[in-house]
Amino acid sequence: MAALVIVVVLVLFLLSTGVRVVQQYERGVVFRLGRVRGKVREPGITLLVPVIDRMRKVNVQVITMPVPAQEGITKDNVSVSVDAVLYFRVNDPIRATVDVQNYSFAMLQVAQTSLRSIIGKSELDDLLSGRENLHQGLEVMLESPATGWGVHIDRVEIKDVSLPDSMKRSMARQAEADRERRARIITADGEFQAASKLAEAATRMAETPAAMQLRLLQTVVEVAAEKNSTLVLPFPVELLRFFEAAATRVTDGAAGGATADTADPRP
């Protein structure tokens, strides 16, 4: 009787060692005497043959892996430091277990070398503003080895681009010069438009002399409205021109008289 109890206990123990639970985010790869079973164990309770079977669980969740900053020289000879982030997951647990020793470490190494390669093929402007094409290029470069390891690349993105301090200062000076150039162009354009309008207004006022007088009176009213103790009265330009013409005639007359005296000397 005691022997039967011992046998029953041993059988129950062996059966309990053959019961495994696979989580929803895992898949089970079973090895029987060292050989992989063709079917992957799905989530739930699964039974193994005690002593003979071994099961390795593989996580199929999306893995977020930061890629350390890689230094390189761009196509236009600028030294930069670029880091990225890689999102991938296992879609073939058997390949990820059998064909590669550590798929996470392998993906990290491939991501670093691909990032260095994409830096050398790109220009600085592409790294700063045209990242969508670089993301697609990195994904294509990583997809080829990842497929052989049973890994699917969800996405890869460049996080940050570090520039040398001298390059940052040069870019700041360039941006400042560009803003100053645009400001000067806008100011010059405003002055050109103002001069054009003033010339048009002067032409119209010249056609109507009364308009000049009305404008003069309006200016006087505006100056007086400021509660100033001093009133500035503009001097008419026509009067200045009259005095200038009179002075010219007097000068010409005096010069003509002197010439006549010189030509007709007394005996």
Written as one string, the DSSP assignment of 140-205 is HHHHHHHHHTTEEEEEEEEEEEE--HHHHHHHHHHHHHHHHHHHHHHHHHHHHHHHHHHHHHHHHH
Dihedral sign computed on CA atoms, order 234, 240, 243, 244? positive
In this structure, are 140 and 196 located in the same domain?
no
The dihedrals phi and psi of 67, each to the nearest 5 degrees, come to: -95, 120
Say if residue 27's pLDDT is above 80. Answer: yes
Q: Which domain holds residue 241?
A: 212-253
In this structure, are 219 and 203 located in the same domain?
no
Say if residue 264's pLDDT is above 60. Answer: no
Q: pLDDT band at residue 171, thresholds of 50, 70 and 90?
A: confident
In this structure, are 222 and 196 located in the same domain?
no
Q: What is the mean pLDDT of residues 176-189?
A: 88
Domain count along the chain: 4
Distance CA 27, CA 61 (A): 10
What lies within 8 Å, CB to CB, of 64 at 6+ separation is 85, 86, 87
263 in a structural domain: no
What lies within 8 Å, CB to CB, of 102 at 6+ separation is none
Q: pLDDT band at residue 198, thresholds of 50, 70 and 90?
A: confident
Top pLDDT among 204 and 117 is at 117
In this structure, are 70 and 55 located in the same domain?
no
243 in a structural domain: yes
